[in-house]
Structure 1
Amino acid sequence: MGSLHFTTPSREKLLQDMTTSEKIALLSGVDFWHTAGIPHLNLPKLRMSDGPNGVRGTKFFDSVPAACLPCGTALGATWSRELMKEAGDLIVRECHAKSAHVWLGPTVNIQRSPLGGRGFESFSEDPLLSGIMAGAVISSVQKGGIASSLKHFVANDMEHERTLVDCRISQRALREIYLLPFQLAIRDANPWALMTAYNRVNGTHMCENAEILQDIVRREWNYDGCILSDWFGTYSTVEAINAGLDLEMPGPTEWRGKKVSTAMSVGKISNDTINQRASSVLKLIERCSKSGIPESGPEICLDSESGRDVLRRLGSESIVLLKNERNILPLDSAKSLAVIGPNLKKPFFCGGGSASLRPYRSVSILEGLNAQLEKPVQYAEAWRIYNMLPVLGDLVRSPTSGKLGHFLMSIYSSPPLEDKHTLLETFELDDTNVVLYDYSNAATPDNVLFATIEADFVVEQAETYAFGLTVAGTAKLYLDDNLIVDNAEKQIRGESFFGSGSVEEIGYTELEAGKVYRLRVDFGSAATSNLNKAGAPVFGAGGVRIGCAPCVDQGSDLDKAVELAKTVDQVVLSVGLGPEWESEGSDRTELGLPGRQAELISRVCAVNGNVVVVIQSGTPVSGPWNEVPAVVQAWYGGNESGHSIADVLLGKTSPSGKLPLSWPMHIEDTPAFLSYRSEAGRCYYTEDIHVGYRFYEKTKRPVQWPFGHGLSYASFELDHLTLTMDGSGLDSQLHISVTVTNTSTIDGSETCQAYVKRISESKVSRPIKELKGFTKVFVPAGETKLAYITIPLKYATSIWDETSGTWLMESGSFEVLVGNSSALTPLSSLFHVATSLEWKGI
């Protein structure tokens, strides 16, 4: 975009000057991350980048390092509009560093089940919390001239058969739960772009769903932004364009171009429709010109102290203190301490899939604690957990540069063993999870390519080793030209690589200590595989993941960890999940902690009474929590995760996070337990509007920890609730104020949560109560602050009336309940709605 003051003629004048072919060209991407430009009309390409917890840039493969924000559920746990604005400001700076005009985020899908593979990307199980938090970050991002693409619209709530599944949802649940966060974000921030989901809703794929895209979004909500597909989520030409899908991503196009011209020539798509779609893309270009970011600009790593400070604060304020018996936390730095657990050295900064990126730095729990304590912390990993064999890491060394942890990858246009093959390029890489979704080379226009990965391989211990290959494509692994793993001839469909890859094939061999082996992997891109990939999009050239681990009994390591726990005053247990369990392309299969983590917790608690469990996961996990004195939910905390955790554990920061979702005891207790997977291509949302805490309260089913729960080192007293109403009819507002007194000697923040309960009999069954407003307030020790919450009356009291097809603000009596969690709302006040009123819009 050449200059800071890029200008164009009016969109109407541009459309008059453009040929039909030029208009059609605007309606699809030209490559994985860019829209089409028209130079003679001064229309530049726009660059897009994932989102939602950072700005990765234009590369999965060999990407430029970036800032990784805490995951969506972590940001939701802050319950802070102000922090979302700071997060948005950081995203703007990161977009400038990556020359990106469109940020693909935030995600506001609803967590129907804790098993959702992408649950960590979204804010909450509650539509109001999701929509308000999204609106805050979008406002900040777009204030900086960067477009926000709200996603995934709508009901992309599971990964199982996500491109095939038909989500069958009642109109009431669709409106009150699943569409509402999008509606609120559009009301509050008007995102300049909206991304459709892969799935069907009530029979129609979202990219073709005119009832939702046109009737609801454009006509009812008066949305004026650009509607684009998720990557490879366009499934038709005529239906998608007529339904309102402006932009097919990525490019080169599969469904547009000449197919649109043909459809127009036979009257299936009108000139007016093409003008409308092109006008939406032009409007996006016009809005993004405010950023001043040049077309096809450079990508750099932006690592600053101010950025680190924001990330650290976001991480620490997202941490939820779930349990703290005997005030074990904060830790006593004068007492001896051990850190135990499989995650203590793993800086779990984010989940997997398109939300992942290469951080410019990452900090583990062990590193965070050691940075603040005078003496190095004793530690024991106890047990290695992995869903797939660990990547090779320092087991390999580049055969040319000699760099530890590096390897060579040579790419060819034909199999390298053929006589006539052409070497296209060679890379030295440092991660044996090689993702080629966006790799491109003019010599491989159809993403048909071949590669050889080579490295020197050395182990320190003589043992039998397991080698694993997971691939979207075909691959064989050799050591000194001996075939160890064959994942090419007889492949089995798995959940890797967004669901388009194979299961991990494993081979075993005995290795000598200190001997240098030549490791080689022969790889063919996704197009070389005959796997049935139905239900999952195939991304570009696919990828390959190489793993290895010794075949040893880890029981002795667990025993040693328990012995260490006996010798110290305090223990921090580091447990959880990670990107292998929570990732785009697959859902979790169970609620429990993987491996022997639950056993580790029980055994350590049996020998030490001062145990703190730190959980790193994006969604709830079950475990022996009743045996543990203190439990901390740390989420995936971004680049500074280890420092954020240490700040809370050592008392530098008082925890203030609140759960943005309910924490169930058992997976069988969850509302979607019987209807979470695609069966015969359908998933019935049988829990209807009773998602999350709405379900648990209605059924009186106990939970481990309730929605909105979170403890602090400070203590607070909420009192003196006042409730007033002003305005008239649909324009009325509820105004709530509460005093918040910090009754402790520690500064801290408290979140006031306002729920509304229907007292009078309703036309339909309602939840016991619903979150309708919230605010977070910082209160110094011994002081009192006033907390204010304003709620539009129509949003506080309305249901979706399926009979009239409108929102209905019901007359009758209601009660406002205010507290610091959904289970603790001691303050209440009644109000009355005199007249029932129907409404539509936002």
Structure 2
Amino acid sequence: MSSFDVEETLAKLSLPDKIRLLCGLGWWHTEPVPSAGIPSMRMSDGPNGVRGTRFFNGVPSSCFPSSTGLGSSFDVDLARKVGEALADECRAKGAHILLAPTVNTQRSPLGGRSFESFSEDPNLNGLIAAAYINGVQSKGVSATIKHYVANDQEFERFSISSDLSERALREIYLKPFQLAVKHSDPWALMSSYNRVNGLHVSEDKRLLEDILRKEWEYKGMIMSDWIGVYSTAESIKAGLDLEMPGPTVMRGRAVERALIAQKLFPSDIDARVRKILELLKRAFASGIPFDAPEKGADTPELRQLLRTAAADTIVLLKNKKNVLPLNTGIKKLAVIGPNAKAAMTSGGGSARLLESWTVSPLEGIHAWLKEAGSSAEVNYTIGATSHKYLPLLNSLTYGDDETNGGVLQFWNEKPIDDFMSLNPKLEAPRKPTAWSCSSTVTNIFLIDGVDSDKVDPSCYIRYVTTFIPDESGDWRIGLNVSGTGNLFIDDKLVVDLSTNPPPGNTFVGFGTAEVSNVAKGLKAGQKYKVEIRISNIELVEKGLPFPCWGGLRLGGIKVVDDEEALNDAVQLAKDSDAVVLVVGLNHDWESEGFDREDMELPGLSNRLVSEVLRVNPKTVVVNQSGSAVTMPWIDEASTVLQAFYGGNELGNGLADVIFGKVNPSAKLSLTFPKRLEDVPSYPSYGDKGQELGKILYNEGIFVGYRGYQIKNVAPMFPFGHGLSYSNFQYSDFQCTPISSDGEGKFTITFTIKNTGRIDGREVAQVYIHQSLSSLPRPKREMKGFVKVALKAGEDKQVKVDLDREALGFYDDRQMCWVAEKGKFDILVGASSEDIRLEGQTKLNETFTWTGL
């Protein structure tokens, strides 16, 4: 409906209808008003994939690499292509609004959602986000930049106050949002859960109206994070258009009462509804149907983009002995590690989705060698376990039709007296089920996907599946539930979570801790009946902020003696010509809802790496994590790759890099410190250093690499670091004078030459420093970057245009941006520490500005 008229529609809406529009309909839709021609817009998470409208039993989705990986590509063209592909999947799933990208600044590697943001640097963060947004919106889908602002930890995320200076707020935390607004105009923005300097963002008029809408001239719609509205009149007056999710908690009848009390006026309601209708006009123009059935996306072009993205987000940290690329003529290759056989596609929380397919590192290596016609013998062993929760049993559980999955049955009333008993009667329940369905996964969170017309939230659930082990031996089987529950194998109680279940962090904080026991003497290929019985009644009685029918997480692993597993790995490494050792974290360790406790790799991972390196120096260590980890073995390792979370095609992308089909070109979008104590935000982060519900951003503007440089603390790997199978030479630096028209425009040029023997790509980074200024400034600030493709022996002249953004700082004495006259050092480097060219330019007169 291209003719949809916002003002005409607004004028004919009744006040009750307007109030209704101020809150969502359920988790993923806006409220419709059919009588006024207003349908319901659909939304979907998230930053690395389009889940659709269901956490449970949704349509499978493409999973792209985590945002820290995409940021590390330093590739705005790739970011735009990823955005376009996400928009295509939004269209397939009937979604008008994508709840992404995330651009919160990474203050600390401990942040549970660090993997969701692009970088610790505001310039890189904002420009990659802008390219991503432009890609999404080029297909008529609204992007939603989030979480505005200073939402940088998970600890007490609904209430914590991020206390920081105006200068730090402007230069570091608001800057990526500002750049994205300037270069991409996101059609929607999501406010954050937290407070900033004492006031919740969702009711902060200065942040939402004065800065965002007036100073930056932002025209889009502002929605809350889910259950992130804590007031009625205040949030509406502040400029928050839409409360999510529905049904409303802070609006509805409360708005009617505020109008009676004249805390609100009809004009306040109109201002909010107008923004929702303006976004609806874009939804009409997109041509995406309303209330459409959800479909998946799978084309050869999409598969290639997923593979390209996986490879192009891998950082070559070390290649000291030129072990990489591996020769396909190798005879015996060992693949070892807890992240080798399983595909760790993404971090946890709202970023998780049901992948349409996955390729693990082990699978990718096998496929690559087979396609290359190699006769190499590939052997695998785990070496060490690294799970926080037992690995899911998705691939080892089967329904009656012998396909992967299990059956869920629901009762609104207790079916038999001893349903949850430790000594149950296992005959069929006497009462008929209210509803039933199947599931292909063993991690089930029932906040959607349940027929709410038939099943009450206060319900009893039985999950039944057949478990077929792939290895003989003792198996440790574990269960987490949301509610209370018990697990039986062949009618024998194995796990009791109905008697004083211990609380845990699963299911967004509403789940139990994992409780496990050993099932002895299981045989590979034999069928075992698994039954889980859950009561959701106690959870509902405690009170939930959203509808939930319960949840379960079933995991298991063959019991392996730690020392035996490590010794097997060492022996295999010793007997092999080369080793690919894949370690790291996973979505259980890095997730929305909680922060990491430390930077360590889990279990015996570090010892495994050290022992394998000791017996086979031709070892490629691959680390998978969304943020930095410590590497106590780094000096012994000659060859290290940082793979982040690579999405569907992580295994194929990794194999492409390992065997040289792809020359790595990514560079770290965040600093890897040697130890946690070196992080600029330490110790004022998470539950450390907090003071009466607030966290002090005591590092000010010296976040990330700025903090290491100002304190002369050497990191393990600096921001912007990343190697190639080629070598690059920089020369011929030139810089034009700075314009005197108040725009501060100037241009630098230089030449890059590929002096290696294979084609490659180099990311050149431009840093600025002003030594004499009225306020302290970082030693270096990255203000530009460019990615250049060069054939072997080729050279190209590179041009980088800069303006006042590169010169200015925020002066909180004058409450404006200032570019002070004087000399500016221009540094061009292969990283923040590897500076190849230096020059100077001069600003003749000081000038100030506000806005974009």
User: Shorter chain as normaliser: what TM range?
Assistant: over 0.9
Paired residue for 1:806? 816
1:45-90 Cα shifts (integer Å, max 9, x gaps): 1100011101111111011111111110010011011111111111
C-alpha separation between the residues in 2 aligned to 1:422 and 1:764? 73
What does residue range 133-532 of structure 1 map to in structure 2 within 5 Å? 133-336=128-331, 337-373=333-369, 374-375=374-375, 376-398=377-399, 400-403=400-403, 405-417=404-416, 423-443=433-453, 447-459=457-469, 465-510=475-520, 512-513=522-523, 516-525=527-536, 528=539
Partner letter of residue 774 of structure 2? K
C-alpha separation between the residues in 1 aligned to 2:520 and 2:314? 44
RMSD: 2.0
Partner SS state of residue 494, structure 1: coil
C-alpha separation between the residues in 1 aligned to 2:554 and 2:749? 57
User: Is 1:55–1:67's contact at 8 Å kept on the other side of the alignment?
Assistant: yes
User: Is 1:526–1:540's contact at 8 Å kept on the other side of the alignment?
Assistant: no
C-alpha separation between the residues in 1 aligned to 2:200 and 2:603? 38
Q: What TM-score do you get using the length of structure 1 for normalisation?
A: 0.95
- How far off its partner does 1:586 sit? 1.3
Does residue 1:713 correspond to 2:720, yes or no?
A: no
Instruction: Work out which of the residue numbers 623, 632, 655 in structure 1 matches 2:664.
Output: 655
Does residue 1:604 correspond to 2:612, yes or no?
A: yes
C-alpha separation between the residues in 2 aligned to 1:460 and 1:160? 39
Q: Closer, same or farther in 2 for the Cα pair 1:247/1:444, shift >3 Å?
A: farther
Does residue 1:776 correspond to 2:776, yes or no?
A: no
Q: Closer, same or farther in 2 for the Cα pair 1:161/1:357, shift >3 Å?
A: same
- How far off its partner does 1:838 sit? 2.4
What does residue range 85-96 of structure 1 map to in structure 2 within 5 Å? 85-96=80-91
- How far off its partner does 1:34 sit? 0.6
1:652-683 Cα shifts (integer Å, max 9, x gaps): 11100000000111111111221111434221
Partner SS state of residue 285, structure 2: helix
C-alpha separation between the residues in 2 aligned to 1:268 and 1:421? 52
Partner letter of residue 501 of structure 1? G
Paired residue for 2:842? 832
Paired residue for 2:426? none
- How far off its partner does 1:473 sit? 2.3
Paired residue for 1:747? 759
C-alpha separation between the residues in 1 aligned to 2:111 and 2:100? 18
C-alpha separation between the residues in 1 aligned to 2:349 and 2:585? 15
Instruction: Work out which of the residue numbers 593, 597, 614 in structure 1 matches 2:601.
Output: 593
Partner SS state of residue 120, structure 1: helix
Paired residue for 1:669? 678
- How far off its partner does 1:20 sit? 0.6
User: Is 1:30–1:252's contact at 8 Å kept on the other side of the alignment?
Assistant: yes
C-alpha separation between the residues in 1 aligned to 2:34 and 2:537? 34
C-alpha separation between the residues in 2 aligned to 1:571 and 1:516? 35
User: Is 1:413–1:443's contact at 8 Å kept on the other side of the alignment?
Assistant: no
Does residue 1:756 correspond to 2:764, yes or no?
A: no
Report the more deviating stretch, 71-80 or 680-689: 680-689
User: Is 2:595–2:686's contact at 8 Å kept on the other side of the alignment?
Assistant: no
Partner letter of residue 365 of structure 2? L
C-alpha separation between the residues in 2 aligned to 1:700 and 1:478? 58
C-alpha separation between the residues in 1 aligned to 2:470 and 2:759? 50
- How far off its partner does 1:441 sit? 3.0
Paired residue for 2:697? 685
- How far off its partner does 1:420 sit? 8.8
Paired residue for 2:75? 80
User: Is 1:6–1:292's contact at 8 Å kept on the other side of the alignment?
Assistant: no
Report the more deviating stretch, 483-492 or 361-370: 483-492
Does residue 1:797 correspond to 2:797, yes or no?
A: no
User: Is 1:617–1:636's contact at 8 Å kept on the other side of the alignment?
Assistant: yes
Paired residue for 2:643? 634
Partner letter of residue 769 of structure 1? R
Partner SS state of residue 508, structure 2: helix
C-alpha separation between the residues in 2 aligned to 1:18 and 1:451? 43
Does residue 1:697 correspond to 2:709, yes or no?
A: yes
- How far off its partner does 1:552 sit? 3.8
Query: How many equivalent pairs are there?
Result: 830
Q: Closer, same or farther in 2 for the Cα pair 1:211/1:417, shift >3 Å?
A: farther
Report the more deviating stretch, 637-646 or 522-531: 522-531
C-alpha separation between the residues in 1 aligned to 2:408 and 2:350? 22
C-alpha separation between the residues in 1 aligned to 2:757 and 2:277? 56
Report the more deviating stretch, 66-75 or 484-493: 484-493
C-alpha separation between the residues in 2 aligned to 1:682 and 1:568? 53
Partner SS state of residue 24, structure 2: coil
User: Is 2:412–2:456's contact at 8 Å kept on the other side of the alignment?
Assistant: no
Partner letter of residue 441 of structure 1? D
Report the more deviating stretch, 551-560 or 683-692: 551-560
Partner letter of residue 263 of structure 1? A
- How far off its partner does 1:167 sit? 1.2
Instruction: Work out which of the residue numbers 567, 590, 614 in structure 1 matches 2:575.
Output: 567
C-alpha separation between the residues in 1 aligned to 2:62 and 2:528? 36
C-alpha separation between the residues in 1 aligned to 2:648 and 2:481? 28
Paired residue for 1:646? 655
User: Is 1:388–1:547's contact at 8 Å kept on the other side of the alignment?
Assistant: yes
Partner SS state of residue 747, structure 2: strand
C-alpha separation between the residues in 2 aligned to 1:506 and 1:539? 28
Instruction: Work out which of the residue numbers 576, 580, 585 in structure 1 matches 2:584.
Output: 576
C-alpha separation between the residues in 2 aligned to 1:720 and 1:475? 69
Does residue 1:618 correspond to 2:626, yes or no?
A: yes
Paired residue for 1:766? 777
Partner letter of residue 340 of structure 2? L
Q: Closer, same or farther in 2 for the Cα pair 1:460/1:49, shift >3 Å?
A: closer
Partner letter of residue 726 of structure 2? A
Partner letter of residue 534 of structure 2? F
Q: Closer, same or farther in 2 for the Cα pair 1:750/1:458, shift >3 Å?
A: closer
User: Is 1:166–1:682's contact at 8 Å kept on the other side of the alignment?
Assistant: yes
Partner letter of residue 307 of structure 1? L
C-alpha separation between the residues in 2 aligned to 1:259 and 1:383? 55
Report the more deviating stretch, 187-196 or 669-678: 669-678
Paired residue for 2:65? 70
C-alpha separation between the residues in 2 aligned to 1:474 and 1:687? 44
Paired residue for 1:24? 19
User: Is 2:84–2:139's contact at 8 Å kept on the other side of the alignment?
Assistant: yes
C-alpha separation between the residues in 1 aligned to 2:414 and 2:165? 52
Identity of aligned residues (%): 41
- How far off its partner does 1:447 sit? 3.4
- How far off its partner does 1:458 sit? 4.8
C-alpha separation between the residues in 2 aligned to 1:266 and 1:357? 45
Partner letter of residue 178 of structure 2? Q
Partner letter of residue 579 of structure 1? H
User: Is 2:41–2:96's contact at 8 Å kept on the other side of the alignment?
Assistant: yes
Partner letter of residue 555 of structure 2? G
Q: Closer, same or farther in 2 for the Cα pair 1:157/1:216, shift >3 Å?
A: same
- How far off its partner does 1:736 sit? 1.5
Partner SS state of residue 434, structure 2: strand
Report the more deviating stretch, 656-665 or 800-809: 800-809
C-alpha separation between the residues in 1 aligned to 2:558 and 2:307? 36
C-alpha separation between the residues in 2 aligned to 1:440 and 1:393? 20
1:434-479 Cα shifts (integer Å, max 9, x gaps): 0222234333787333311112345577755433222232222233
Partner letter of residue 777 of structure 2? R
User: Is 1:415–1:451's contact at 8 Å kept on the other side of the alignment?
Assistant: no
Partner SS state of residue 75, structure 1: helix
